[in-house]
Amino acid sequence: MIKFEKVQMRVAHESEDKTEASLEILPLVRGWGHTLGTAYRRVLMSSVRGTAVTFVDFRRVEFKGEPIAVLHEYQTLPGVRETVMEIAQNFRACPFRLKNEETVAILSLSANKAGKVVIGMAKCPPEVEVINPDVYLFQLEKGAEIELSIGLRENRGFISSPELRPSEVNPEWKGSFPTGVVRVDADHSPVLGVYPETEPFRVGESGDYEKLTLRIRVREGYTAEAAFREANGMLQEHFTLLNDKGWPQDLGLLQPIPRENPAPTPTPLSELELTDRRVLNALFANGIDSVEGLLSFRERELRQLNRIGDIARKKIETAVENAGLKFRDN
C-alpha cells in the first residue's frame, strides 16, 4: 500500500498585484506530482468563475442627427474610427468583476463629443466593479453620437456567441436577440495560464517523493491564490462525491458488460499447404479466400470454377485430404 505523508501547501512567490503566484505542494509520492498538476491545471483553466461581456447593444447610434442601423458585426459606423467588431472586442478585453454571482448586469455608455472613449466613462450598477477604467474602446469624431448597452455575466469557462441565449444575458429578451445587438464570445475564466513543474523531494532518508510547483497567472482584479483555492475546493468536493460509502443501492457500475460471442475467424487457405501460387490465385479469383469457403463446394463443382483445370483440382483435393478435411457431400 502507498504510504502518504502529510501534504503541505504554501505560496513560494507572489507578485505585488497578486495576479501571479507560485504555489508549492509537498511532499507527494513519486509520479503523483504530474497527476495532481494535470488535475489542477484543467480545473483552473476551465472551471474558475469569472465575469465576461456577453453582448453590446448598438441600437442607439446617430451621426449628424440621423439614426444608424447596425445590422451585423462587420459594419462600419459613420463618425467612429473602429468597426462594430473592433468595438465589441475592445469591450471583451475590459476587466470586470461582478459582486453578485447570480446577477446579470447591464452597463450603459453615452458619448457625443469627439475624442477617445474609455470604459471608465460607462455608468455601472453597484454590483459591477471596473478593474481598469483606462481601457480604450473607440475614437469618436465630430457629429457622431453613440449610446451603448453592455451585458455582463458571471459564469465558468468559455461560451461562444452562438451558444448564448437571449434570456440568459437579458431577462427582458424572450425570443431572439434584437437587431443591433452583437453577441460576444464570453471567456469567463480569469485564469490566463497554469504551469505545473515537478522535482525530486526528500523526506528524511527517503528520496521517493516529489514537489509540485504551480505557477498561476490571472487577469487584473483577481488573485492567483484565490483561483487556486476555488479549484482546490472543487476537486475536493468532487472526489468526496465519488466516495462509495453510503451508496443507497447497487447501481451495477462495477458489473461486466455482457458481450455477444464473436464470429469465428475464417481459416486462411495457407493452412492447407497449397504451395502452387497459381492455384491459390485461381481460388482467389473465384472469391474463395478461406478453407471454410472452399469446403462449401462439392468436388464436382470444382470443375465449374474458372481457371481450375484437372491438375489444379487434383492438387486442391490432395491438400484437403492431407489436412483431414472433406468437401460438402455430393
Output the pLDDT for position 176. Answer: 82
Output the pLDDT for position 258. Answer: 63
| Residue-level pLDDT, tens digit, the chain, 330 residues | 567 778 889 999 999 999 999 999 989 988 899 999 999 999 999 999 999 999 999 999 998 889 999 988 899 999 999 999 999 999 999 999 988 766 789 999 999 999 999 999 999 999 999 999 999 999 999 989 999 999 999 999 999 988 888 888 888 887 788 889 999 999 999 999 999 999 998 887 777 889 999 999 999 999 999 999 999 999 998 888 776 665 555 555 556 656 666 667 788 877 777 778 888 888 887 778 888 888 888 877 877 777 788 888 888 888 888 888 888 775
Output the pLDDT for position 251. Answer: 54
Q: With beta carbons less than 8 A apart as the criterion, state whether 171 and 104 touch.
A: yes
Closest by CA to 103, choosing from 57, 62, 140, 155, is: 155
CA 73 and chain centroid, separation: 26
Specify the pairing of strand 206-218 against strand 49-63.
unpaired
* Residues paired with 186 in a beta bridge: 159
- Exposed e or buried b for every residue in 273-305, given b needs 16+ CB within 10 A? ebeeeebbebbeebebeebeebbebeeeebeeb
Sign of the Cα pseudo-torsion (195, 199, 202, 207, in order): positive
Residue with cell 449610446: 147
**3-class DSSP state of 73:** coil
Output the pLDDT for position 263. Answer: 64
